[in-house]
């Protein structure tokens, strides 16, 4: 099941501590959100799942965590200074501003006026001053995508790891875009996170690798609980392709507000390394690149058979963490009618993504022996390293079940008087609501099964 509206998700996220409007107590800033106690766990788990599948489970990808502040020259050479723009229009009637390509019938969504200015390009990059004097002469951009520093580190990584093509470099981190109209909760924001892989291949093998990564990425989203029927891959029209792309496949998801991009997988050809390399004329660069008189390093690799060097092509699967989280929350959101006529909201997250892996609940909060036993169990499960286990020391059992259903905790473990006699606990399963008695000695194994 999925949520019936974005409002349902927004409300759950605030109520249960997943996501808050940023700067809330001062009225908020549009397009910025904060991840609360549950949100930060879910987000970390999603990023970890991506990292595991990209870096740990393969032997052809290395990781990177590069700086956010970027030298202007990097984004000049990459073409961002010239072309990373959206078409901006002003409504002459109510003075609001819009992205021209998102308007229907060229009408202002606010006041319905058709009296709009002609569109003009608006650069989406944020700038900040570097150093103590803010006279405009020394500044940096906040990176608008994570990948440029992967390209500038290409030689550092090949030299330090002896990787040869085909291989990839993966990075997760913040990116910033001064979106004209941020909207739809965390779907379009001004500060977000990306999970990007740049996979370097031999020219000629690029189409095959492109197809490979499209399939892999769809499979991965499915393994995170996103149902196939809500995922669609579309070939981006030639006229819509970014300046660096030979072909792009967008993975679209049926978000509560409509079908939109979750991840883009682009064949970026030799544009990136070709743009950032020294001595461009020494290589047979196929894409149209800006002349580079600043780079200090050659970014070509050896073709050992032909004893020549060439600029590798790049296949880039680029996914948004925030959009992924929204899709996952939407997929997990379930409203169930119970036999007794009540309804319950339950977040049927895959256990590896759940913010809390298990809640240990002492039935009597003022019974020292019960509380002490609950603490021992909590610590034991915590030490297994599957993620956060929580000791629930407040509220009654019914309230605890409701809360843990809504945040997607796979199991609740209750410690009661019987536990003190026979060393067994009651384990309640989130999805079936079945309760069973499990002996303390088998609990570790019982718990770990949820994550395999």
Out of 13, 151, 171, 179, point to the residue binding ligand ATP (CB under 6 A). 179
**Of the ranges 162-170, 227-235, 317-325, 402-410, which one interacts with ligand ATP (CB under 6 A)?**
317-325
Task: Give the contact letters, 256-275, x = binds to ligand ATP (CB under 6 A), - = no.
Answer: -----xxxx-----------
β-partners of residue 302 are 309
Residues 6+ apart with CB under 8 A from 195: 47, 50, 54, 170, 171, 172, 318, 319, 320, 321, 324
Separation of first and last alpha carbons in the chain = 23
- Helical segments of 198-320, H only: 206-223, 271-276
Q: Can you count the helices (H) and strands (E) in the chain?
A: 13, 24
177 near ligand ATP, judged by CB under 6 A: yes
Whose Cβ is closer to ligand ATP: residue 85's or residue 295's?
85
CB of 193 to ligand ATP, least distance (A): 8
Site string for ligand ATP, 5-44 (x = CB under 6 A): ----------------------------------------
Q: How far is the CB of 323 from ligand ATP (least distance, A)?
A: 4
Contact 255, 249 (CB under 8 A): no
Give, to the nearest 10 degrees, the angle between helix 321-332 and helix 37-51.
110
- The C-alpha atoms of residue 165 and residue 108 are separated, in whole angstroms, by 50
Taking every pair of C-alpha atoms in the chain, what is the biggest distance, in angstroms?
Answer: 81
Contacts of residue 295, Cβ cutoff 8 Å, sequence gap at least 6: 77, 276, 277, 278
Closest C-alpha to 9, from 261, 236, 240, 328: 328
What are the DSSP E strand ranges found in 328-449?
333-337, 343-347, 358-362, 389-391, 411-415, 424-429, 435-439
In the window 108-137, what residues touch ligand ATP (CB under 6 A)? none
Nearest distance from residue 260's CB to ligand ATP, in Å?
Answer: 6
What letters, b where the CB count within 10 A reaches 16 and e where it falls short, cover 118-145?
ebeebbbbeeeeeeeeeeeeeebbbbbb
Interface region with ligand ATP, contact rule CB under 6 A, candidates 98-106, 313-321, 383-391, 432-440: 313-321
Q: Which is nearer to ligand ATP, 260 or 418 (CB)?
A: 260
- Kindly state whether residue 217 participates in binding ligand ATP, applying the rule CB under 6 A: no
**Closer of 173 and 274 to ligand ATP (Cβ):** 173
* For ligand ATP, the closer CB: 176 or 310: 176
The one segment of 12-20, 188-196, 285-293, 433-441 that binds ligand ATP by CB under 6 A: 188-196
Residue 413 makes contact with ligand ATP by CB under 6 A: no
Compute the least distance from the CB of residue 165 to ligand ATP, in Å: 24
- Measured CA angle at 107 (ends 106, 111), to 5 deg: 165
Contacting residue, 12, 147, 172, 319, with ligand ATP by CB under 6 A: 319
Q: Which of 45, 53, 171, 194 binds ligand ATP (CB under 6 A)?
A: 194
Contacts of ligand ATP in 323-362 (CB under 6 A): 323
189 binds ligand ATP (CB under 6 A): yes
CA distance 386 to 10: 27
Choose between 261 and 336: whose C-beta lies nearer to ligand ATP.
Answer: 261
Of the residues 198, 322, 331, 405, which one makes contact with ligand ATP according to CB under 6 A: 322
Q: Assess 378 for contact with ligand ATP (CB under 6 A).
A: no
Note the Cα 437 to chain centre separation in Å. 38
Of 88 and 262, nearer to ligand ATP (C-beta) is 262
- Compare residues 94 and 234 and give the one whose CB is closer to ligand ATP: 234
Contact residues: ligand ATP, CB under 6 A: 145, 177, 179, 188-189, 192, 194, 261-264, 318-320, 322-323
């Amino acid at each position: 099941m999925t949520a019936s509206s974005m409002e349902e998700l927004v409300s759950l996220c605030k109520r249960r501590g997943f996501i808050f409007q940023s700067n809330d107590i001062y009225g908020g800033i549009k397009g910025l959100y904060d991840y609360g106690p549950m949100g930060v766990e879910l987000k970390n788990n999603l990023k970890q799942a991506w990292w595991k599948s990209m870096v740990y489970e393969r032997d052809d990808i290395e990781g990177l965590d590069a700086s956010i502040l970027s030298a202007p020259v990097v984004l000049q050479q990459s073409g961002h200074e010239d072309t990373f723009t959206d078409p901006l229009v002003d409504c002459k009637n109510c003075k609001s501003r819009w992205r021209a390509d998102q308007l229907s019938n060229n009408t202002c969504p606010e006041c319905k006026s058709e009296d709009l200015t002609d569109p003009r390009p608006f650069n989406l990059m944020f700038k900040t001053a570097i150093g103590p004097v803010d006279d405009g002469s020394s500044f940096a951009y906040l990176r608008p995508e994570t990948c440029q520093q992967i390209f500038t580190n290409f030689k550092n990584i090949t030299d330090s790891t002896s990787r040869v093509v085909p291989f990839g470099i993966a990075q997760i981190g913040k990116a910033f875009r001064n979106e004209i109209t941020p909207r739809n909760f965390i779907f379009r924001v001004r500060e977000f996170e990306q999970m990007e892989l740049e996979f370097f291949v031999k020219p000629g093998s690029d189409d095959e690798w492109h197809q490979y990564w499209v399939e892999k990425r769809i499979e991965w989203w499915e393994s995170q609980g996103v149902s196939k029927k809500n995922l669609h891959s579309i070939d981006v029209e030639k006229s819509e392709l970014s300046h660096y792309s030979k072909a792009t496949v967008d993975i679209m998801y049926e978000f509560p507000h409509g079908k939109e991009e979750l991840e883009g997988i682009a064949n970026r050809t030799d544009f990136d390394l070709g743009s950032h390399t020294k001595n461009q004329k020494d290589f047979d660069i196929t894409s149209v690149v800006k002349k580079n008189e600043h780079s200090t390093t050659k970014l070509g690799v050896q073709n050992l058979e032909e004893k020549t060097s060439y600029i590798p092509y790049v296949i880039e699967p680029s996914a948004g963490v925030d959009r992924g989280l929204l899709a996952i929350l939407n997929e997990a959101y379930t409203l169930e009618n119970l036999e007794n006529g009540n309804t319950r909201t339950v977040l049927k997250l895959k256990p590896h993504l759940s913010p809390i892996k298990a809640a240990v609940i002492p039935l009597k909060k003022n019974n020292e022996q019960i509380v002490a036993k609950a603490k021992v169990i909590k610590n034991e499960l915590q030490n297994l390293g599957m993620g956060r286990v929580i000791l629930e020391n407040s509220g009654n059992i019914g309230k605890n079940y409701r809360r843990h259903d809504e945040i997607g905790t796979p199991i609740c473990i209750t410690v009661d008087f019987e536990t003190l006699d026979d060393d067994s606990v009651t384990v309640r399963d989130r999805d079936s609501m079945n309760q069973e008695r499990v002996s303390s000695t088998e609990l570790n194994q019982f718990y770990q099964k949820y994550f395999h």
